[in-house]
Structure formats: C-alpha cells, structure tokens
A and B are shown apart, each in its own frame.
Chain A
Amino acid sequence: MNTLQRGINAMIEQIDAPIATFFTSCVHCGLCADSCLFYTETQDPKFTPIYKLEPLRRIWQQEYTFWGKLMSQLGLSKPVTDAELAAWEPLVYDSCTLCGRCSLACPVGNDIVYMVRKMREGMVASGHAPEGLKGATQRAIGLGSPMGVNLNTLMAHIHNTEKETGLSVPLDKEGADYMMVLSSAEIAEYSEIVSAVTRIFHQAGVSWTMASDGFEGTNSGIQIGSSDLAAELLSRVVRAAERLKVKYVISPECGHAYTALRWEGPNLIGRPYHFEVIHIIELLDQLRSEGRLRTEGLDETRMTFHDPCQMVRRGGVVEQPRNLLHMVAPNFVEMPDAGIQNWCCGGGGGVSANERAEPLRIKVFSRKKAQLDAIGVDTIVTSCSNCRTMLLDGLEHNSMNLNVVGLTELIAEHLAPASK
C-alpha cells in the first residue's frame, strides 16, 4: 500500500455508524461556521468546520452509500487524491483545535469534532500531518514527552519540592489511592505544580503517589490523530497505575491529557481500566465539599477563569473550578461566553505544537482578546497548562499586561496551615 491508499484505508476503517448518520443528517446550514474561532476571526468560508471534512465525506459517499457506490462503479465519481489530502492538511490540523464548539452548535446534533478526530487518522496514515506535530509525537514516543522532559527533570522538581516544603513526595508507592499524572508543560515550565499538589494533598490527607514510568499524561497521539501511537503513550500510564494498584488516576491540568485518559483511553487499549480517572480540579472540588481543603486569605485581584475546551465541552467540568475560585477570589468575574460556550485559546488539539499554524493562531486570538477586553481583569486563571502557555503568548503579541495562573497553584498559595 502506498501512503495514499493507507490513508484512505484508514478513513474507510474509521467511518462508523455515527459518521454515516452525521453526513446523512447534515442540512448544509452553515451554523457551524459561526461557532468556529477560525471562521469568526477570519470570515474565510474555508474554515467552516464541516467543510474541513470534505475528503472524509467523499470517501464515505463513494464507499458506503448506494448512489456513491453506483457512481464509482460507473466511473462517474472523482476519487480523493493525495494532492487533495495535502491541501486539506492545514484545514484539518492548523485551523482546528478539536475544541468541539461546532458540535454544540450543530442543530441536527452532528458531532463534528468527533469526525475531525477520526479524519486525522487517515491524514496521519497518508503522511499528511504537520511537521511540528510529527516532531512532538516522535519526542513523546522516543523520549517520553513531546517537550523532551524526562524522569531526571521530574526528579529535580521532586527534590526541590521536598527541600522547600519539608514534605516527602511519594514516588512508585504501591497501594496509594491516587496516582498523579503531570503534563509535559507542567514539568517543563510550571513545575510549581509539584509543590502545590504535595502541600494540598498533605493538608487534605490524600493517599497519593507518582509513577516513575507513567508520570506524563500529554498525548500527542490523540492530537496527531493516530490511535496506534495514542495507545502506546496511554499504555505507559495505564501500566503504571495498574502496577501500583491505585484506585484513581488524576488527570493533570492539560486538556488533551484529560480527553485521552478519561474518554478515549479504554477504547484505545480495548478494555476497561482497573481504576477511575478524575481531573485534578474535580478532585480539589471534591476535597473542598468534604471540608478537607481549607484556604485562608483572599486575593483581591480582579480575575476571571478561562475554561479549557476539553474540560467544559468534552468533560462537563464547569462548576468545580468556580467553586474553588470563590474560596479565594472575591473579585472573580466571568468572561462573556464563559463555561460551555467558551472560546478556545487557539492552541489546543496539537495547534500549539505546529509552528506553521502560529500566524493563524495569533490572528484568531482576537476573540480571546475581545472577551478579555469586555471585562477588564488583571489575572486569568485556567486549568490547562497548554491554555496557559497559549494565553501568555497571545497576550504578549497583543501587548496585554495580564497575569496567567494555574488554578491548582492559586489554591495552594492560599492553603490554610496544616494544623487543626
């Protein structure tokens, strides 16, 4: 098989009953366009979400529909070519962050982002994936992290934390209740998270550990759209969690790590987990409601919360971060469209790893800027380290002087002393 055949074969393999239903149901209303960041900020109709799926739709039509098959038999249909897939690569990867806003907008209920995810399977198999994302995936498979961090980097953070807090950071502790997984960006750039969770879990009396062979949750395989590679990355975490016999795996503040661990995982490995997955923010809110997480002092800064797409739209985690914020932030304000309809930071779904997409990503940050300009805050809190980096980047390009902080760290800063 050449790469084109391999790509088309992958799409034929990926087309399932939902996809057939979605393509059949599409009424061509174009409402998905106005839900897409890349369309609203550019007004370029090629960024209409459903249009990004055109090659997949044609393959479905030619391979799975009665009339399409008949037309193909009679030689009347135009087969999908390699050049077309190449032309669609920027649409499928650069201008889609898998944010899922279009799926909510579709009046007939078509899960468009589900289809983009599936179409990427064919794109990567045909060799049409962005170089930046390929590199990230190669690093993730080869080195253990798309950003090239490894166990040594983590160990350094662990030692620092132990020195700073006087608490021990459990590693490879069999039988712990929770196994904490981190994101690549946290280990590389926001290492204060290690100290934050250590102190919080100590106060709340949480039995937890990290695993030396499964500490990294970022999943470039999901982003590039290869289930084969995604499964390999995910298996590291699953193996570690099951080796340590933990009851829960904690997803880090990372959108696609959450989606990979929580939603795609069991399908990728083809069996149920022997543990449950919970997002760090869900866990913190649970500890709060049980009275095990106590804070003191308030941060008077005017702040808002940026909902990561994967958490609100795919995960439905909306109330939890707000409950936590209300503990410490009296001047918290909501952005327009906050919650389920929040706009993407522009860098999800592998866009942040794709250098070619950067000018477009910076351009469409205008939406986030408008959201922020509407409320005039000093600090943005979020719960995804990739969003955090993308927000900082976008703010800098727009000369906006705002702080961006992670929610877990914000809570840790206001942690009440451990004594009862």
Chain B
Amino acid sequence: MADHDSLEHRLAEQGISRRAFLKFCAAMASLMALPPGSAVAIAAALAKAKRPSVIWLSFQECTGCTESLTRSHSPTLESLIFDMISLDYHHTLQAASGFAAEKSRDDAMQAYYGKYLLLVDGSIPTKDGGVYSTIAGRSNLDLLHEAAKGAAAIVAVGTCAAFGGIPMAKPNPTGAVAVSDLIKDKPIINISGCPPIPAVITGVLAHYLTFGELPALDELGRPKAFYGETIHDHCYRRPFYDQGKFAKTFDDEGARNGWCLYELGCKGPTTHNACATTKWNGGAGFPIEAGHGCLGCSEPNFWDAGSFYAPLPAPSADVTTIAEVAAVTGAAAAVALSALDRAKKKRAQQAHEKLTVKDL
C-alpha cells in the first residue's frame, strides 16, 4: 500500500512490523470480546485509517488520565496508535503554547468540522458562570460547548468527565458536572475510572476507527466490552469469598493468605471495570493483587459512597438461618413435586399395554 498517510505505513516507518500490528489487532478484538474474525476487519480498517483529528480538552482534572494513557503502556504499540491519530490539541502533550496552541485547536475544529473526535478529561465547573477553571481566559463551560458543536462523538475519559468525579464530591464548591450533564445532542462514551485503564481508552478508539461507530454501551454510557462485568466476577480472590474466608484486618492471617477483602471494604462486587482481567502496568497486577480492596473508582459518586474501608451492606438476618429455611422449604417442595412425578410415572407404568407382535 503506497498510502504514506496510512497507519500501517506510519507504523512500518517506526519499525513496527505487520506481524506486531496484527497481533495488536487480535488483542484488541479479544479485549473487546468481538468475534475472532474481527481482528482482520480491525487490521484492514486501521491500516487504511487516515488519522482522524482528535481534540483533547482537559478541564478540572489531575492529568492522571493522560498519565495513564501515555505512560503505563509506553512505548508499546498502543501508545503509538494514539500517536497515529492526529492529536491536534492536548494541553499536556502539545509542543505549541500560548496563542499558537489555541490557534491549532481553532484550525482543527474548522478543518474537520463534524468529523473530529473530542476527548475530554476532567469535570466542568458551572457555578458562578464557570469561573473556577479557565484556559486562555475562557471558561471550561464555554470551551466545551464550542468544541462539542463540531464533534463527531465525545469520549469522556476518566470518572471526572464521565460522572463528575472528585471535583463533584460534596460539597462540590465549583458546581462541577459531567460532560453528559451539559451535552445532550452528541454521542458520548464514558470511559470511567480514576484513571481509566489505558487499553480501554485505546480499545474504544480502535473500535471507533474500525467500525466508524460507537461500541455497545451500558446504561451509564460505558462500553459493555470493558464494563459489562464486575471486578468481583473475575477477581482471583473470588474462591475465598465463596468459601467465606475473609481478611479482617490488613495484617492478619487471612490478609497474609490472600483471602477476600470484602470485610475490609472492597467495592469489587459493585464496581464494573476490567481491572481484574486486563490489569495494570502492562498486565503486572491490579489493586486487589497488591492487597488493597477496590475503591470503586469507575462508578458514579465513588468518593461520596461512604468509607473505602466499610464493608458493603450484607443481608440483615443471619445468612445461615436464611439458608437453612430456604433449603428446608426447597427440599419440602422438591419432595412434594417428585412424589407427584413418581405417581405420574407409576400411573403410566400401570397403563402400559404390553406390546405384542400383532401391534406391529
């Protein structure tokens, strides 16, 4: 392919072989739980993709999301994929500064009107006319409305942009809100997490480049492929939960044995994210593997949902008693139903008319 602007060509220039590229595509396909054949489709689409323009706006945030994306997997193919889109504006990463920087954003918005992807991290303060966070003298509120107008889709990166996050935590002095609270007329993907898993960010972008549409989303606007199940569902400590083996303090026998952290406040059972499977730092591990419970950072209001160390609510009555009553009731019903079935079978046996050769 002589298309010098194509992704595949750019990758080749940077010493990324086609084999490595295809491996990335297959990994993306499996990560997003797409059918196996999709790897080829992804490869074909990405190879031809013409670096769509991306504008990244950072509002009330800590730059952790950018850190997550750029650092954790760098310099793997994933970060290069990100290089390969045309990142026309990004506070932290752009070389330009001052008026030049603002001009490049304006130029991109004009040149790719209706086509560019808008990535937002950080929440947007709305109180007092949005004066609590400004860039080049303009409020975040103003910038977001302006940039959203010409965007093909908006990706809210991180819990702040997706759900308001820490800036929105009580008492929310700046009146911070999420992107979806302000923009109602554009497709929005929420990639929540504080910060989100880098592969999830690149995965969603790859999906968009491949299929030209947003992936399937859950009721909170998060891609189902990554947020479809809870941390608890896939936690390697789950067998201990099922056996009722819990660490009671962070330095007891149970903690040393790697037992379940439920009683130490782990929010894994109510948190939807891919940490337990995709993991962090190039697959090195995730918080529970380091001995700390999940904080639930990819869920709305996680900062205000009570202590990180208070266990999630459990059934109020004694579980053993409930189980015993249920078992006895169930067994009684089963005995009664099976007696009916037995009687039916017996009737059928009594009604059996012996088959003779004459019946044939």
| Chain A contacts to B: CB under 8 angstroms | 1, 6, 9-10, 12-13, 15-16, 63-64, 66, 124-125, 127, 129, 134, 137-138, 141-142, 224, 226, 228-229
Question: Which residue of chain B has its CB nearest to the CB of A121?
Answer: B355
Chain A residues, Cβ within 8 Å of B337? 66
B127 contacts the other chain (CB 8 A): no
Contact of A229 among B348, B351, B357 (CB under 8 A): B357
Bound-complex Cα distance A295 to B352 (A): 53
| CB pair A64 B355 closer than 8 Å | no
A-B contact pairs, 28 of them (CB 8 A): A1-B353, A6-B353, A9-B348, A9-B351, A9-B352, A10-B348, A12-B345, A12-B348, A13-B345, A13-B349, A15-B345, A64-B341, A64-B344, A66-B337, A124-B355, A124-B359, A125-B355, A125-B359, A127-B359, A134-B360, A137-B357, A138-B357, A138-B360, A141-B357, A142-B357, A224-B360, A228-B356, A229-B356
Cα–Cα, bound, A229→B360 (Å): 11
Bound complex: CA A15 to CA B359 (Å)? 22
Contact A1 B351 (CB under 8 A): yes
Number of interface residues of B (CB under 8 A): 15
CB distance from B348 to the nearest CB of A (A): 4
* Set of chain A residues within 8 Å of B352, measured between Cβ atoms: 9-10, 13
- Rounded to whole Å, the gap between the CB of A255 and the closest CB of chain B is 22
Q: Output the least CB separation between A383 and chain B (Å).
A: 30
Interface flag for B354 (CB, 8 Å): yes
Which chain B residue shows the least CB distance to A139? B357
Query: What are the 7 closest A-B residue pairs judged by CB atoms, nearest first?
Result: A13-B348, A134-B360, A12-B348, A141-B357, A228-B355, A226-B355, A228-B354
Q: Residues of B contacting A63 with CB < 8 Å?
A: 344
Q: Kindly provide the distance from the CB of A222 to the nearest chain B CB, expressed in whole angstroms.
A: 13
Which residue of B has the minimal Cβ distance to A129?
B360
Residues of chain B within 8 A (CB-CB) of A229 are: 355-357
CB A63 to nearest CB in B, in angstroms, measures 6
User: Distance in Å from the Cβ of A120 to the closest Cβ of chain B?
Assistant: 11
Q: 9 extra interchain contacts, Cβ-Cβ under 8 A, other than A124-B355, A142-B357?
A: A10-B352, A13-B349, A13-B351, A13-B352, A15-B345, A66-B337, A129-B360, A138-B357, A229-B356
Measured CB to CB, the nearest residue on chain B to A66 is B337
User: In the complex, which residues of chain A have a beta carbon less than 8 angstroms from the beta carbon of B359?
Assistant: 124-125, 127
In angstroms, how far is the closest chain A Cβ from the Cβ of B44?
A: 30
CB-CB contacts below 8 Å: B313-360 with A: 337, 341, 344-345, 348-349, 351-357, 359-360
- Per-position binary interface string of chain B over residues 14-30, scored 1 when its CB falls under 8 Å from any chain A CB and 0 otherwise: 00000000000000000
The smallest C-beta distance from B114 to any residue of chain A, in angstroms, reads: 45
In the complex, what distance in Å separates the CA atom of A392 from the CA atom of B351?
44
Q: How far is the CB of B168 from chain A (nearest CB, A)?
A: 45
Given A12-B344, A66-B337, A229-B355, does the pair A137, B349 have CB atoms closer than 8 Å? no
Q: Which of B345, B349, B352 has the most CB of A within 10 A?
A: B352
| B336–chain A nearest beta-carbon distance, Å | 11
- Chain A residues near B355 (CB-CB < 8 A): 124-125, 226, 228-229
Residues of chain B with a CB closer than 8 A to A10's CB:
348, 352
* Chain B proximity of A119: nearest CB distance (Å): 15
Report the separation of the CA atoms of residues A245 and B337 in the bound assembly, to the nearest whole angstrom. 47
In the complex, which residue of chain B has the Cβ closest to the Cβ of A221? B355
For B337, the closest partner residue in chain A by CB is A66
Distance, CA A142 to CA B360, complexed state (A): 12
Shortest distance from the beta carbon of B116 to any chain A beta carbon, whole Å: 45
For the complex formed, measure the closest distance between the CB of B332 and the CB atoms of chain A, giving whole angstroms. 14
Chain B, Cβ-Cβ closest to A131:
B360
- In the complex, A13 Cα to B337 Cα: how many Å? 17
Q: With CB as the reference atom, state the residue of chain A lying closest to B349.
A: A13
CA distance A197 to B357 in the complex (A): 33
- Alpha-carbon distance A1/B351, docked complex (angstroms): 9
Residues of A within 8 A of B344 (CB): 12, 63-64
Give the residues in chain A near B360, CB-CB below 8 Å: 124, 129, 134, 137-138, 224
Which residues of the partner chain B approach A129 to less than 8 Å between Cβ atoms?
360
Cα distance, A62 to B295, chains bound together (Å):
49
Q: Which residues of B contact A127 (CB under 8 A)?
A: 359
Instruction: Please measure, in the bound complex, the distance between the C-alpha atom of A124 and the C-alpha atom of B357, giving whole angstroms.
Output: 11
How long is the Cα–Cα vector from A127 to B217 in the complex, in angstroms? 55
Query: How many Å lie between the Cα of A1 and that of B360 in the bound state?
Result: 16
0 or 1 for each of B46-66: is its CB under 8 Å from A? (1 = yes): 000000000000000000000
Residues of B within 8 A of A224 (CB): 360
CA A127 to CA B353, docked complex, whole Å: 13
A63 to B337, CA, bound (A): 12
Residues from chain B with a CB closer than 8 A to the CB of A12 are 344-345, 348
Of all chain B residues, the one with the shortest Cβ separation from A15 is: B345
User: Which residue of chain A lies nearest to B354 when distances are taken between CB atoms in the complex?
Assistant: A228
In the complex, the chain A residue whose C-beta lies closest to that of B341 is A64
CB distance from A6 to the nearest CB of B (A): 6
- Across the interface, name the chain B residue whose C-beta is closest to A226: B355
- Nearest chain A CB to B344's CB is how many angstroms away? 6
C-alpha spacing A1/B352, complex, angstroms: 10
Q: How far is the CA of A66 from the CA of B334 in the complex (A)?
A: 10
**How many angstroms between the C-alpha atoms of A224 and B356 in the bound complex?**
12
